[in-house]
């Protein structure tokens, strides 16, 4: 009787190990698709949202701790590049005990779904959010064609 119980425990242990390995396999395989981030993974910086509002595209990027002076935005046609740097200098006379937001430089580029009129782009930086309004170029806007 003890032998049968031992055999059942071995089978259940093997099944549990198999289930754990399969869960790990599918979690690793599906990690990039299950996060819902769309453009990139968890380490992409700055994180952004891009919305189409009809005549414009609106881009919102999270860039906490970056000032206007450290930020560069370039646009040409439907190509957009956001780059900059963040410093973490401690004030004079202070001792650093913990640094979880290190100094860093970043660069992120996007191919936008439409050509943009670069002369009419507006950008604001407030509370760590860069908000850009990117007007579509006239060639990218749909036109009504009259049929004769």
Looking at residue 66, which CATH number applies to its domain? 2.60.40.790
- In the predicted model, what is the mean pLDDT of residues 48-54? 92
- Domain interval for residue 80: 48-89+102-138
In a domain, 118, yes or no: yes
> Comparing 7 with 132, which gets the higher pLDDT?
132
Look at residue 58 and tell me if it is in a domain.
yes
For residues 134 and 141, give the distance between their C-alpha atoms in angstroms, rounded to a whole number. 13
pTM of the model: 0.64
The Cα–Cα gap between 95 and 92 comes to: 9
Instruction: Kindly state whether residue 3 falls inside one of the protein's structural domains.
Output: no
Number of domains in the chain: 1
pLDDT of 3? 65
The H helix count followed by the E strand count for the chain is 1, 7
pLDDT, tens digit, 9 for 90 and up, residues 86-140: 887 778 888 888 888 788 889 999 899 988 999 999 999 999 999 999 998 877 6
Has residue 36 been placed in a domain? no
């Amino acid at each position: 009787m003890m032998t049968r119980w031992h055999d059942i425990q071995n089978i259940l242990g093997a099944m549990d190990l198999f289930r754990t390995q399969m869960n790990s396999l599918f979690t690793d395989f599906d990690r990039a698709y299950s996060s819902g981030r769309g453009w990139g993974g968890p380490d992409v910086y700055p994180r952004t949202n891009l919305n189409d509002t009809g005549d414009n595209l609106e881009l919102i990027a999270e860039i906490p701790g970056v000032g206007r002076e450290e930020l560069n935005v370039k646009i040409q046609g439907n190509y957009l590049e956001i780059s900059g740097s963040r410093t973490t200098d401690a004030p004079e006379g202070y001792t650093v005990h913990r640094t979880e937001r290190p100094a860093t430089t970043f660069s992120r580029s996007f191919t936008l779904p439409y050509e943009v009129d670069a002369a009419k782009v507006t950008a604001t930086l407030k509370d760590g959010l860069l908000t850009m309004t990117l007007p579509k170029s006239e060639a990218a806007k749909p036109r009504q064609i009259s049929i004769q």
